Amino acid sequence: MRVIAGELGGRRLKAPGGRDTRPTSDRVREAVFAMLGDVHAASVLDLFAGTGALGIEALSRGARCAVFVERDAAAARVLKGNLASLGIAGEAVEVRQVEALKALREANARQETYDLVFIDPPYGRARPTPATSASSIADGWGPRLSAILPALLSPGARVVVESDRRAPIALDFAIERSRRYGDTSITIHRHQ
């Protein structure tokens, strides 16, 4: 896994072992940023950050700052290691090791706003079990995120949702673009 383009293009990123963290593939990241276009000077929120690949890619392409939210301790350690090895430090980046919805509530209390939000929950948490359906799981994330995100979005902000195509997460925002890459569904929403 590597940074695709920008100032850090070609630099390697590490991922934690095991199956708990599923980094966004280079191919999908390249497609996401091709759809997004210019992210220069954007303030970025990378929810369910994992390795930090999406937020790091945005920083490499000129984003002003990024907040990474990752509750898993092993993934957060790898994320911090990736930032350190790339020389990304200072006030431009922050790693918050907390559950995503709690992080959103805390950001709201601090009156933070973002121009670009990446949402990429673990597919295991989004994938249905015999006792649940794909739509009920996706429907669970969609309303909760749709309720809290608007207060955190600057005018015209974009929200990129990466999810399992069998359990896509639907937000209550206008869809700007949507694509599928194998089992991965990418939807870019625009905040009005």
Q: Residues 116-150: pLDDT tens digits? A: 999 998 865 444 444 444 444 444 789 999 999 99
Pairing of strands 93-96, 114-119: unpaired
Amino acid identity of 70? E
Q: Domain residues for 78?
A: 26-190
Does some domain include residue 13? no
Secondary structure (3-state) at 81: helix
Angstrom distance (rounded) from CA 178 to CA 176? 7
Does some domain include residue 75? yes
Q: Label residue 19 by pLDDT band (50, 70, 90).
A: low
* The pLDDT of residue 5 is above 70: yes
- CB-CB contact of 185 with 24 (8 Å): no
Q: Which residues contact 48 (CB under 8 A, 6 or more apart)?
A: 69, 70, 100, 119, 120, 121, 122
Does some domain include residue 147? yes
Per-residue pLDDT, 118: 97
Per-residue pLDDT, 129: 42
Pick from 146, 92, 136, 101: nearest CA to 121: 101
Amino acid identity of 177? R
Does some domain include residue 9? no
Does some domain include residue 12? no
Domains of the chain: total: 1
Per-residue pLDDT, 172: 93
Q: Label residue 18 by pLDDT band (50, 70, 90).
A: low
Does some domain include residue 178? yes
Angstrom distance (rounded) from CA 173 to CA 152? 13
Does some domain include residue 93? yes
User: What global pTM score does this model have?
Assistant: 0.89
What is the CATH classification number for the domain harbouring 135? 3.40.50.150
Q: Residues 25-76: pLDDT tens digits? A: 888 999 999 999 999 999 999 999 999 999 999 999 999 999 999 999 999 9
Does some domain include residue 58? yes
Q: Which one has a higher pLDDT value, 147 or 22?
A: 147
